[in-house]
Homo-oligomer: A and B are copies of this chain.
Amino acid sequence: MHKRPYHHGDLAAALLARAEEMLREKGSDALSLRELARDLGVSPAAPRRHFTTKQALLDALALTGFERLTAAIATAQDGAGRTFPEQLDATARAFVGFAAANGALLDLMFSAKHSPEASEELGGAALRWVQQGLDMVAEGQRRGEVRAGDLERVALTVFAPLQGYIGLAASGVVAPEVAEEGLDDVIASVVRACRPD
């Protein structure tokens, strides 16, 4: 078996890919830089050439998470009808689907503990996700399908139920069959709640 050349080639990308697998397998608590290094056949200190701290790696993971979430939702919205209920339905299912496949990554994304130096880039990605949601609600308001009012406040009432559904489903506090069928109810309740008077 040939020994790997001294330069890995693209260790940064490999670390992120393997870290995501480990996140999915074991959760963020068990994610370990040394184990990542072992898995990739490099020394324990090699990851530090690409991510100065463990937290920096986690922040990079959260960043890719927001990028992929935003992309998944955009794709779902493109393939849906143009009414607000149709757009919301597509958005909600894409969001929940992403959460089902990437629960630990989502936790990481919405965790309050990001390092300050990551705030700008990571914050930018989070903001694009937020803006995407605001755009959908704004379009609904323009079409007269969503109640009037401050855009951010109305959007909060749209996305809080989805976020909460995801959290409750993931925590196991809600029975799996209730969670499975309950998404339809949650989406319908959001549509009812923000329907103009």
Contact = CB atoms under 8 A, between A and B. Distances in A.
A160 B156 contact: no
A72 interface: no
Nearest to A191: B193
Contact of A126 (B165, B173, B194): B173
Contact of A194 (B27, B111, B164, B189): B189
Interface residues of A, number: 43
A168 B126 CA distance: 12
A156 B179 CA distance: 8
Contacts of A189: 157, 190, 193-194
Interface in A161-189: 161-168, 170-175, 178-179, 181-182, 185-186, 189
A contact face: mostly helix, strand, loop, or mixed? helix
Contacts of A172: 112
A56 interface: no
A143 interface: no
Contacts of A51: none
A185 B153 contact: yes
A164 B194 CA distance: 16
A175 B112 CA distance: 13
* Residue of A113, A168, A173, A178 contacting most chain B CB atoms (<10 Å): A173
A189 B162 CA distance: 13
A160 B182 CA distance: 10
Given A111-B171, A130-B173, A178 B153 contact: yes
Interface of A: 27, 29, 103, 110-113, 126, 129-130, 149, 152-154, 156-157, 159-168, 170-175, 178-179, 181-182, 185-186, 189-190, 192-194
6 contacts: A152-B174, A152-B175, A152-B182, A153-B181, A189-B190, A192-B192
| A-B pairs, 4 with minimum CB distance | A164-B164, A163-B164, A160-B164, A189-B193
